[in-house]
Every structure is written in structure tokens, then in C-alpha cells.
Amino acid sequence: MSFATSKLLAASVAGAALLAASVVAQAQEVKVGVILGFTGPLESITPGMGGSAELALKEVNDSGLFLNGETLVPVRADSTCIDAAAATAAAERLITSENVAAIMGADCSGVTIAIANNVAVPNGVVMVSPSATSPALTDIEDNDYFFRTAPSDARQGEVLTEVLTSNDITSVAVSYTNNDYGKGFSDSFVAAFEAAGGTVTINAPHDDGKGDYSAEVGALAAAGGDLLVVLGYVDQGGVGIIRAAVDSGAFDRFALGDGMYGQSLIDAIGEDLEGTVGVIPGAEGEGSEKFAEAASAAGLDPSSSYTGESYDAAALIALAMQKAGSADRTAIRDALLEVANGPGEPILAGELAKGLQILKDGGDIDYVGATNVELIGPGEAAGTYREYIVENGAYKTVGFR
């Protein structure tokens, strides 16, 4: 044998060994896609969301009770939050080339609708979104493959109305981000606020990514109102609207939707934000405390937006697999609602091992998780919201609704 052929042989043996190793590894791994907008308008909160989802998967792996000793492997992909084509391509990669069993995500409503319609539902892959809140997602043709641990904005509109009426606010101007999320949210808020006897002086969109919002604020100021309701994104046009409103003295009080919650807003606006009220999905109780402990221990900020929902979304996927006894895509769909709702033993965040054991023994569980998960209608969270107010340069929780 010449030197060249022996080298070739050695290379192919090594290659075959590698291949065999990867096949063995795959047999014990179940991949779960984590598709969130790691770039784009939500990039400041998505690392916390992704980290929380992976925290749940790690907890399942650490228990050693999952299926027949398989491990869950998260595979991240970028939804970009705004670019439906890029998000669809990323989801396509997860499903066809990474062969994920289910997808936790996506985050923003527009891309979530695109992924569900174009990739997940046609391929029969379960999606559990932690943060897509558009009312439109309630009615999509999903063959029951779409779930969300975040409530619909139809509910958020009612909660925000309750907050404002309890503060004796009767007339507001509304500025929403010009996309599926903003449009759906503002429609549901305006309907709820007017039904409660309030007046909406103007309901105008703003586009994200512009340098200057003085024209938008000019129109809002002309319409007037007790305060300005901003339903946008914290790293995008929302903060631009608030800054322009503060600079021109158009409004000195604001009410914010869930996309506007973030430390970067307080950093950017400073003391002019005092007295601002807002709502954000969030729960109180033992589950959220346990989640907060676990997240803090893992180096995550549990009060960041949608961290608990992300944890719950990933946990539900894992528990549904355990209930079904396999990582089959359709079996996950059929088992998900059974583990999410009663009857059965309530399982809080941090107790996934207990839940896995009960399911392994053939019992029933009622997953409560970090956010009091109760899936209603076509598989979406009923929704608890935290009402906050900005005081002395920090978010302060007023109560839960």
C-alpha cells in the first residue's frame, strides 16, 4: 500500500468513526428550537427570554428522568422580530436541517404568524410562543399546533383600561407601533377604553427606526388628552415618541404597554418618566418566586420581560413529550393541553423533576409554572398582569390584575 492510499484509508476510517459518533449522539438528543429576535427591536430582552427557556430545558436534563434518559438540546435561531422572510427561513432551518421536535417561540406577533402559517403548521411542528400577543393569533388556522404562554392583547387592552380608569384618566392619546402587534393591541385597547366611558382623542401609528418623531408628537399634542398611551417597543420608536413628547412638553404622563417595559427606558428618559404607569404580563405567587430564585441563581434577571413565560413555554414542551412518551411532533401537540391544565398535581417552576416523575408513573399533572399557566380557548394563556408605576427612577409594582 502506498503512502497516499494508507493516508486516504486512515482519513475515511476517522470519518466513519466521527459519523458513527454523531449518530449515537443524535439518538440520545432531542432538539428544541428556540427562535427569538436576538437581533432587532427586542434584542435587549431576548437574551433573558432565551436564557430562561434554556434554564427549563437544563432543569429537565439535570433531573435525568426525561423519557429514556434522553437530553434536550436547545437550538437557537434568530426571528429578527420584524423580518418575516428571515424568520421563516430560520424556522425552516430548525425544522428541516436541525430536525427539532418542537419550537419555543417566536417572540413578535408578525413573525410568529408568518412562521406558524408558512413553516410550523404545514410541517406539523408545535410552536409555543412566550410573547406573541396579537389578538389575530387567536383565530389563525393552526391545526392546534400553535400555543402561547402569553395572553392575547385583547385581554391586555382591558387590563390597561382598568389601570387608567382607576387612576381617574378619562381622555388619552394613543401612539402604537405600526405592525401587527401595535395595530391589534391599540384596537383592543381603544375598544375597551371607549366601552369604559373614556375618550381616545387620537389613535395614530408610529414607524420604528426613525431618527425623529417630532411630527408624530406634534399630531398627538394637537389632539391632546390627560396622558399619552404608548404601545410600542422599548428599544425602538416607543422611546423616540416619549423623548420627543417630553422635549416638546406635549405630554408629561405616559401609560405603557408590555413592549415598553425595560430598564433602558428609564436610563434614556430619566426623571421625566416619573409617574408613568404600565402593565406587563407577570404573576405573583409561589411559582414566580421559585422561578425568580432559579433564574437569579443562573445569572438571569427574572423581572425582565417574558422570562417566566419563556421558561413555561420550554417546560410545557418537555412535559408534553414526557406525557406522550416520545418526542414525536404530533404526540407533543396532543399532550400539551393535558399537562398545562388540570386535573392533576400542580407543578410549580423549579419542580419539573417532580412533574416528570409523576408523568413517568402514569399520573396527571397541572402545570402552574412561573406564570400560573392556564391555557384557554385555542391554547393561549388567560393572563395575569402586573401593574407598575415609575417612582424615583425605578419600576414599582402596584398590584396584579
Partner 1 sequence: MDFLNALVVFANFVFIPGLAYGAQLALGALGVTLIYGILRFSNFAHGDLMAFGTMLTILVTWWLMSMGVTLGPLPTALLALPIGILGAVAMALLIDRWVFRFYRQQKSAGIVFVMASVGVMFVLNGVVRLIIGPNEQRFADGERFLVTVRGFREFTGLDEGLAIRLPIAITLVVAVVVVIALFRFLNYSRTGKAMRAYSDNEDLALLSGINPDRVVMVTWIIAASLATIAGVLYGLDKSFRPFTYFQLLLPIFAAAIVGGIGQPLGAIAGGFVVAFSEVTLTYAYKRVLEYLGFEPAGLVQLLSTEYKFAISFVILVLVLLIRPTGIFRGRVL
CB 321 within 8 A of CB 68: no
> Which of 71/178 has CB closer to partner 1?
178
Q: What is the DSSP letter of 104?
A: E
Q: Closest approach of Cβ 158 to partner 1, in Å?
A: 27
The C-alpha cell at 86 is 428571515
> Which of 74/205 has CB closer to partner 1?
205
> Which of 232/282 has CB closer to partner 1?
232
CB 359 within 8 A of CB 319: yes
Place of cell 409617574: 275
> Which of 29/43 has CB closer to partner 1?
43
Q: Closest approach of Cβ 288 to partner 1, in Å?
A: 31
**What is the CB neighbour count within 10 angstroms for residue 380?**
23
**What is the CB neighbour count within 10 angstroms for residue 85?**
11
C-alpha to C-alpha distance for 266 and 283, rounded to whole angstroms: 22
Q: Closest approach of Cβ 238 to partner 1, in Å?
A: 12
Q: Closest approach of Cβ 392 to partner 1, in Å?
A: 20
Residues 6+ positions from 124 with CB-CB distance below 8 Å:
143, 145, 329, 330, 333
> Which of 180/216 has CB closer to partner 1?
216
> Which of 53/217 has CB closer to partner 1?
217
Q: Closest approach of Cβ 209 to partner 1, in Å?
A: 6
Q: What is the DSSP letter of 10?
A: H
Identify the burial level of 18 via C-beta atoms within 10 angstroms of its C-beta, where 0-12 means exposed, 13-18 middle and 19 or more buried.
exposed
Binding site for partner 1 (CB under 8 A): 178, 202, 204-207, 209-212, 214-219, 221-224, 235, 240, 247-250, 268
- DSSP string of 347-367? EETT-HHHHHHHHHTT--EEE
Q: Closest approach of Cβ 245 to partner 1, in Å?
A: 11
> Which of 216/258 has CB closer to partner 1?
216
CB 187 within 8 A of CB 179: no
CB 104 within 8 A of CB 314: yes
Q: Closest approach of Cβ 248 to partner 1, in Å?
A: 5
